[in-house]
Chains A and B, each alone.
Chain A
């Protein structure tokens, strides 16, 4: 790990100004789970590390009639164990609980989970200058791509590693972003960007901007949600495929819904096709299967990840059925 200056800002304003003036040379540290890994692997070599843990208030979590307000430094364990989240925002609790190991969840934060960098093994290899690191080739296209994208890929074929993001998008969450000039609130769905937009980053965050809050509206009556994650190694693994499903049921029919996939696309992948199948229908095994098929209709697998297509079809089906309680 390259030497760096460790900055402990006393306020959000001070953190933002340090971050803004240093530009690319500075990185934000929340739980540090992802950043330290990248620094140890020489993927990121910042001169300045800005420690967000000394900024007061970023670890606050409130749950009331309006919904959830989650500070970016709230840990995944807190989210997974929060009784209101478990009861009313089930997909989020399940997603947080599915991340890493207990040790990682005790330290890892929700802000870090949303802003973490890809796990693609080419990106994580110091000696490989891939497209995401300013190179000209996405090695996954012709190389070892068993864990890469089957939807929304190109020119980079990473998959977004977050479990919490699909769950939050399914729950219609927004993020509050604070920068040197302004504060903005953006639907989480619009927070993530495809590689076609900017291959070097996965979010809309601009220089000096920090995620300062995650806002989840209170679910409408009759809303249920669930996050299903398929891991090869159950003890500790990324999603081979996952689905966050939100269903608002009225008279046993789907009045509103969201289906957001993990592990298959460079961003948390909302599937309007699957949602269109579900909307207005009573959930049956057949409808759920059709939703799965619709979700994967446009999939374009690479050489070694075709299994993700039937897998994700099944995951959507199972997640929809579980959410509906069928």
Chain B
């Protein structure tokens, strides 16, 4: 099987290429699920529990049903049901306007027996706290243990032992486009659903299953573009299923997109993680042992992180527990658990290096066995100017002794990003010289449509503008859900093979007319020509004109050889800390990310930038605040649940890191978010000597840590 060409042999792939749908997205022409407006469209809205913990005593929707403009009311909860988090669903309405739907929701009378709740981890962990899950005795799960080697011996061999507590708070996904769908029934058992999803086929199957539609292909799910998912948008969800049911009940299409308030409460979040650790290193800086206890919460769902993270440690004792609380369930969040694990691990390593008097980068080089990352550490150090770093926390020429102190820090990433089977792609070469690539897979935002087109253009030796890529529709061939950064490595091989098959058909059809054998023909530079007799050459367009009525069609499926799994990644941060106000400004992030064969360096880089921005959010801003008195989230909005804005953007030095040995493509949507927060925390420490051990690094925490540092002297 032909593999990917070397970068030097490519004319389309491997070149920085703007997204095909970029202009449409930038100008507003692109149609998101939010933008689907159909004749007679109704607007749906969900009624949710205002209480963190309550039992429903009664529900009376009669007033709502009679309200003007209300076309359907469906109640899914019933008296006696337990509500276990604020935002849990009770029912939904569809009305002629969104305002009427909102009024109708408020007219449904629900009587609750309010029950005691726990929404803070510290409270949930107390003996005697109200228990969240029915059959449990406490809110702490059984411990999940990782033990190997001999910890006692490991610590005995250590020259330096560092102890510390580190943590990160719960974060939500905050896609700019909220969850939701527009549903239209095209017959009693035929449904079309425009969804904001990272898995059109998983939404299709969930809808078919929930609504009893057979076969599942009677459900069509369409996602031409979507506004972010980050792991929270795999299924139809309550909102998708109830929208379809409302549409059926009202006999009209219904759009149901969540409000920001609902989005923040009920459709996923990233678990928290809080750790106490002892970690030891020998005189050379090699880690000899670690002992850690970790707890975290995913609300009514579980928590847990991969730990120890990245750096192999021989003697380990780690105990992890989930803390259950009356808050919305966690879901996969861009590199699930890894951002938390990275923060906990890299902070502990940094503090160990400082205590041992070793350059933190040296300590990492000593303990990181990955050859790729060894190269990235060194290149990153060069790009950030690591030699400028303050030799001691808060002390050095970079920090200075003025109001703004500068410092450097670093952190590492690891990910798989390989693909899997299932993809079905079709490439059609038309007689007019245009090419159509069709595969049902959605674009979570990484640039799927663009590389699908690029692969076909490369294979056929034609410019990208001659290719149209049609994606995001379940009536096309199967594509995988976008989770685990698997999309590119699952999709690209199938597209390549479909393009190869279409090319083969083209060449077989035109070879006799050109008086050569198909094997002698090649497509390149917009021409179809004989390898052995260059005089025998026609333009690609001319060759296509000679095709039969059906053009040239090729189908392709996945091939393991065209993808690979396993990436490294390293990041360096430079920050400036205002020691008068505790405000942290990220000046620069150097992010090095390998990813197998790089199809489009521009969208590859965009994914690094996006990961870094999200990592800055984790480092400085994102924190779901719950109130233990009311049981409610106090910041279910973008006013007090903050993410970086334009002023928070650093200088990006995002480096698609070439892997000369690569033979296959690899997804990298997730790894670039992993190390940013730790690198920033470590840079703040290097700048000021302030140990801010919990993210987000707020002015309040920085001022406190600065005061602590001054006290220590």
Main secondary structure of the interface of B (DSSP, over half): loop
- Given known A121-B640, A311-B582, contact A139–B648 (CB-CB < 8 A): no
Tell me whether A2 is interfacial, beta carbon within 8 Å.
Answer: yes
* Chain A residues closer than 8 Å to B580, beta-carbon distance: 314-315, 317-318
Complex formed: what's the CA distance from A125 to B627 in Å? 12
User: Within B669-713, which residues are at the interface with A (CB < 8 Å)?
Assistant: 698-700, 703-704, 707
Complex formed: what's the CA distance from A237 to B103 in Å? 31
Tell me whether B513 is interfacial, beta carbon within 8 Å.
Answer: no
**Inter-subunit contact B629/A143 (CB<8 Å):** yes
The stretch from A190-198, A226-234, A247-255, A272-280 touching chain B is A226-234
**Inter-subunit contact A121/B583 (CB<8 Å):** no
The stretch from B223-231, B539-547, B631-639 touching chain A is B631-639
- Given known A3-B99, A233-B645, contact A314–B581 (CB-CB < 8 A): yes
Complex formed: what's the CA distance from A230 to B642 in Å? 15
**Inter-subunit contact B634/A122 (CB<8 Å):** yes
Tell me whether B621 is interfacial, beta carbon within 8 Å.
Answer: yes
Tell me whether B144 is interfacial, beta carbon within 8 Å.
Answer: no
**Inter-subunit contact A307/B582 (CB<8 Å):** yes
* Chain B residues closer than 8 Å to A125, beta-carbon distance: 630, 632, 634
Partner of A307, one of B103, B647, B699: B699
* Chain B residues closer than 8 Å to A139, beta-carbon distance: 627, 629-630
A152 to chain B, nearest CB (A): 20
**Inter-subunit contact A230/B581 (CB<8 Å):** yes
* Chain A residues closer than 8 Å to B707, beta-carbon distance: 310
Tell me whether A142 is interfacial, beta carbon within 8 Å.
Answer: yes
* Chain A residues closer than 8 Å to B645, beta-carbon distance: 233-236
Tell me whether A128 is interfacial, beta carbon within 8 Å.
Answer: yes
Tell me whether B135 is interfacial, beta carbon within 8 Å.
Answer: no
* Chain B residues closer than 8 Å to A240, beta-carbon distance: 699
Complex formed: what's the CA distance from A236 to B638 in Å? 10
**Inter-subunit contact A143/B628 (CB<8 Å):** yes
B45 to chain A, nearest CB (A): 13
**Inter-subunit contact A234/B627 (CB<8 Å):** no
B465 to chain A, nearest CB (A): 36
Nearest B residue to A228 via CB reads B581
Complex formed: what's the CA distance from A235 to B625 in Å? 21
Complex formed: what's the CA distance from A40 to B169 in Å? 29
Nearest B residue to A235 via CB reads B645
A275 to chain B, nearest CB (A): 21
* Chain B residues closer than 8 Å to A305, beta-carbon distance: 700
**Inter-subunit contact A121/B634 (CB<8 Å):** yes
Complex formed: what's the CA distance from A309 to B470 in Å? 58
* Chain B residues closer than 8 Å to A236, beta-carbon distance: 645
Tell me whether B314 is interfacial, beta carbon within 8 Å.
Answer: no
Complex formed: what's the CA distance from A318 to B580 in Å? 9
* Chain A residues closer than 8 Å to B102, beta-carbon distance: 1
Nearest A residue to B585 via CB reads A234
Nearest B residue to A312 via CB reads B581
* Chain B residues closer than 8 Å to A142, beta-carbon distance: 629
Nearest B residue to A310 via CB reads B703
Complex formed: what's the CA distance from A104 to B585 in Å? 24
- Given known A232-B583, A311-B582, contact A2–B703 (CB-CB < 8 A): no
Tell me whether A127 is interfacial, beta carbon within 8 Å.
Answer: yes
**Inter-subunit contact B700/A146 (CB<8 Å):** yes
* Chain A residues closer than 8 Å to B700, beta-carbon distance: 146, 304-305, 307
- Given known A232-B642, A307-B703, contact A143–B630 (CB-CB < 8 A): yes
* Chain A residues closer than 8 Å to B632, beta-carbon distance: 125, 127-128
User: Within B607-666, which residues are at the interface with A (CB < 8 Å)?
Assistant: 620-621, 625-630, 632, 634-635, 639-640, 642, 644-648
* Chain A residues closer than 8 Å to B699, beta-carbon distance: 230, 232, 240, 307, 311
- Given known A234-B647, A237-B642, contact A144–B581 (CB-CB < 8 A): no
Tell me whether A119 is interfacial, beta carbon within 8 Å.
Answer: yes
* Chain A residues closer than 8 Å to B620, beta-carbon distance: 232
* Chain B residues closer than 8 Å to A315, beta-carbon distance: 580-581
Q: Mark B174-188, 1 if CB is under 8 A from A, else 0.
A: 000000000000000
Q: List 14 A-B contacts (CB under 8 A).
A: A125-B634, A143-B628, A144-B625, A146-B625, A146-B700, A230-B583, A232-B621, A233-B621, A234-B648, A311-B581, A314-B581, A315-B580, A317-B580, A318-B580
Having A234-B585, A235-B644, A315-B580, one finds 14 other A-B pairs with CB under 8 Å, namely A1-B99, A42-B106, A125-B630, A143-B628, A230-B699, A233-B621, A235-B645, A235-B647, A235-B648, A237-B642, A307-B704, A311-B582, A311-B699, A318-B580
State the 4 A-B residue pairs at the shortest beta-carbon distance, nearest first. A235-B645, A307-B700, A234-B647, A121-B634
